[in-house]
Amino acid sequence: MTACGPEDPRPALLPLFAVEACRRLDVIDAGLTAERRDYRSLIREAHTVRGSAAVLGLEQVAEEAERLEDAFARARSDPGDLDADEAQLAVRRIRTLLAAVRAPAEEPGEDDAPAATPPARLVLCVEDSAVNARLVERILEAQGDAVVAAGSGQDACRLAVERRPDVVLLDLHLPDMSGEEVVRRLAARSETRDVPIVVMTGGADQGRFEALLALGVRGVLEKPYAPPELVAALDAALAPS
């Protein structure tokens, strides 16, 4: 805690992001050399690296990952459009940028831990990136909220029933189903249909925004976001309508 408020949690998460991003780059490397490329998987991995990097303020990494994501999206429509050599060079450039942030992160010691207090609200964070989920957790726990994380749509639907969160923070890009499908499944169950949902996205178009609102989503949080924007989005979703 600083004199001006809670410390920015992002710098401490950079080493964790570097490790996670390198794992995703390994998947991209393997996908580029596969006999039959799974462009949906390649797009998802590049998108996740881009979104996490943008949220953490790593602009060069985000820009390189965005170029990869765009190239894979074009190749999904026209496989002959992909320059595989250039894609592999982009992967290597990202690895070089990540090498500077791979020093071990220091975790708070017991003396630094805040005193336990009842959480203000329970937030279900649905996010397959461990870095993004940890960032949400640190931002919200600093103001007294409790966070439970789900890394897939299936886990999100299960935990929403088991834990009865006050609000759901939902990433649209999940490994097993779309964010829209999660919204539909939660709306179909009596235990979860009234839980407000805020979706996080790093590149949805206006049409998708409108479709999400039509499904009952309370708010849309665009990545990259600053910590106060995350808090404000959840506050707005929980405000009486």
**Alpha-carbon span 83 to 79, nearest angstrom:** 9
Alpha helix ranges (H) inside 56-152: 59-77, 84-99, 130-141
**Interval 218-229: pLDDT, tens:** 999 988 888 889
Nearest to 49 by CA among 61, 57, 33, 37: 61
**Interval 20-37: pLDDT, tens:** 999 999 999 999 999 899
Is the bond leading into 224 cis (omega within 30 degrees of zero)? yes
Please report, as a single letter, which amino acid is at residue 164: R
**pLDDT given for residue 58 in this prediction:** 92
Q: Which two tokens stand for residue 119?
A: 């959480």
**Alpha-carbon span 146 to 140, nearest angstrom:** 7
Q: Pinpoint the residues of the chain covered by CATH 3.40.50.2300.
A: 119-238
Fold exhibited by the domain 119-238? Rossmann fold (3.40.50)
CATH architecture of 10-99: Up-down Bundle (1.20)
**Interval 151-179: pLDDT, tens:** 999 999 999 999 999 999 999 889 999 99
**Alpha-carbon span 227 to 50, nearest angstrom:** 18
Name the one residue in this structure whose structure tokens are 């074009």: 74
**pLDDT given for residue 24 in this prediction:** 93
* Alpha-carbon distances, residue 49 vs 81, 111, 192 (angstroms): 22, 33, 30
Q: Are 122 and 137 in contact (CB under 8 A)?
A: no
**Interval 40-74: pLDDT, tens:** 999 999 998 998 898 888 999 999 999 999 999 99
- Give the three-state DSSP class for 171: strand
Nearest to 48 by CA among 147, 128, 116: 128
Q: Is the pTM of this model over 0.85?
A: no
Nearest to 159 by CA among 134, 141, 185: 185
1 pLDDT tier (thresholds 50, 70, 90):
very low
The C-alpha angle 127, 162, 214, rounded to 5 degrees, equals 55
Please give the mean pLDDT across all residues of the chain. Answer: 87
Q: Pinpoint the residues of the chain covered by CATH 1.20.120.
A: 10-99
**Alpha-carbon span 126 to 123, nearest angstrom:** 9
**pLDDT given for residue 103 in this prediction:** 57
